[in-house]
Amino acid sequence: MRTIPILLISYLLIPYFVFAQKDNIQGEPVCNIRGICVDTAKVVGIKASIFGLINGHIKFLGNCDEAGKFDVRLPLNIEQIIFKNEDYHTISKTIHIANKLPSRCYFHLKNLIMSPKDILFKTLDDRTALRSELALSFNVIDSISINYILTDSISSTIAELPFTIFQLKKSWTVGYYTPGDYTAKLYTKDNKLISMEKLIIYPGLNLFSIKVIKPAQKDTSAIRRLSRNYAANVSTTTVLYFDQSSSDLRSQSKNALDSVARQILEHPNIKAVVTGYTDNVGSRDLNITLSEYRARTVENYLKQRGVSPQRIAAKWSGPDTKLAPQDKEEVKSMSRRVVIQLLLE
């Protein structure tokens, strides 16, 4: 008669040892998942045990601490994560890993709310009833401020969050969404796109890794080398002369402008600063206007030769203050000019 309870106890213990093994997952591809289990009413931490459904078997993953916090390693072939406490309803989340995760990847979950068993019906958050949870992990070395935008399949903005990825915090649970196709975009604070990835959100908990390529800093040594090369191959200043009271280009000026246009088009990192001048004979207001006409004439000629307007800056100064009224005509004629300077952008 004593063999019956012994056999019964052995039978009851078999599922625990078979289905709740603490398997060694070292060497397997893993990620870490972190969060806190809390009571719905008392708002206190719950010391829950955490299991995973892996290849059809239940495996023990770890425990929450006294405050309810947990940090467990998940094999990438996990199907469900299960949170158990004898005084609370069990919570099970189906897990979907959206893409290939890098090594040392971890995710933060929102507070995991558990309902005591003495409550007749398990509390259900209406946000999670028909929606799915999305947790992001950002693969970035340093801190960076970004704008995160999530859009659906018809390009409607679902979420738009500005935040900073800190060196010690690189993961967020960004919210609950209806299952479907989405696009995640990351922009810098000055609106430069640094990442865009497609993702599918399934019912349950979705883990998604986003690779963030931090915009490269300017290499000053490269700029110095470029400057030396630029100075050696580009005529940085060109002067065009005009007849008195005229803004028409001379034939030799057109040849010079053709050369300037070629240099600008061959060097995409330079721009032209065009400045118009006049002599100091006559009304200053008229001379200011004439200097503008001369600068605009040169600007328009360069545009006709294919130079982008964004690479030309036109300005004018009117009479050349270096000359005196009593200066000779040959000296004054040197002031009727437009100066073109080619500068590195």
Of 2.60.40.1120, 3.40.50.1860, 3.40.50.410, 3.40.50.300, the CATH number of 10-124 is: 2.60.40.1120
Do 220-344 and 10-124 have the same topology in CATH?
Answer: no
For residue 3, is pLDDT > 60? Answer: no
Radius of gyration of the chain (CA): 36
| 133 confidence band (pLDDT: 50, 70, 90) | confident
- CATH number of the 132-216 domain: 2.60.40.1120
Tens-place pLDDT, residues 226-241: 455 554 455 578 889 9
As a whole number of angstroms, the distance between CA 11 and CA 13 comes to 6
Average of per-residue pLDDT across 4-11: 42
Q: What share of the chain is helix, strand, coil (3-state, %, to 5)?
A: 25, 45, 35
Residue ranges per structural domain of the chain: 10-124, 132-216, 220-344
Tens-place pLDDT, residues 290-302: 999 999 999 999 9
Nearest CA to 147 out of 125, 164, 172 is that of: 164
As a whole number of angstroms, the distance between CA 64 and CA 290 comes to 81
Nearest CA to 237 out of 340, 315, 335 is that of: 340
Share of the chain above pLDDT 70, in %: 67
How many angstroms separate the Cα of 164 from the Cα of each of 85, 144, 192, 292?
36, 6, 15, 47
Topology (CATH level 3) of domain 220-344: 60s Ribosomal Protein L30; Chain: A; (3.30.1330)
How many angstroms separate the Cα of 315 from the Cα of each of 54, 79, 272, 273, 340?
71, 68, 11, 8, 10
The pTM of the whole model exceeds 0.85: no
The amino acid that residue 173 corresponds to is T
Q: How high is the pLDDT of residue 1?
A: 44
Q: How high is the pLDDT of residue 10?
A: 41
| 187 confidence band (pLDDT: 50, 70, 90) | confident
> To 10 degrees, the CA torsion angle through 114, 83, 150, 193?
130
Average of per-residue pLDDT across 260-288: 89
For residue 181, is pLDDT > 80? Answer: yes
Tens-place pLDDT, residues 16-58: 333 444 444 444 667 888 889 998 776 688 999 999 999 999 9
Q: How high is the pLDDT of residue 76?
A: 84
Higher-pLDDT residue of 42, 278? 278
Q: How high is the pLDDT of residue 325?
A: 56
Coil vs helix vs strand at 230: helix
As a whole number of angstroms, the distance between CA 166 and CA 35 comes to 18
For residue 14, is pLDDT > 60? Answer: no
- 146-160, 170-184, 253-267, 326-340: which range is least confident on average? 146-160
Tens-place pLDDT, residues 74-124: 888 899 999 999 999 899 999 988 767 776 778 888 788 888 887 655 544
Contact 210, 184 (CB under 8 A): yes
Tens-place pLDDT, residues 203-217: 888 888 877 766 655
Contact 144, 96 (CB under 8 A): no
Average of per-residue pLDDT across 178-197: 79
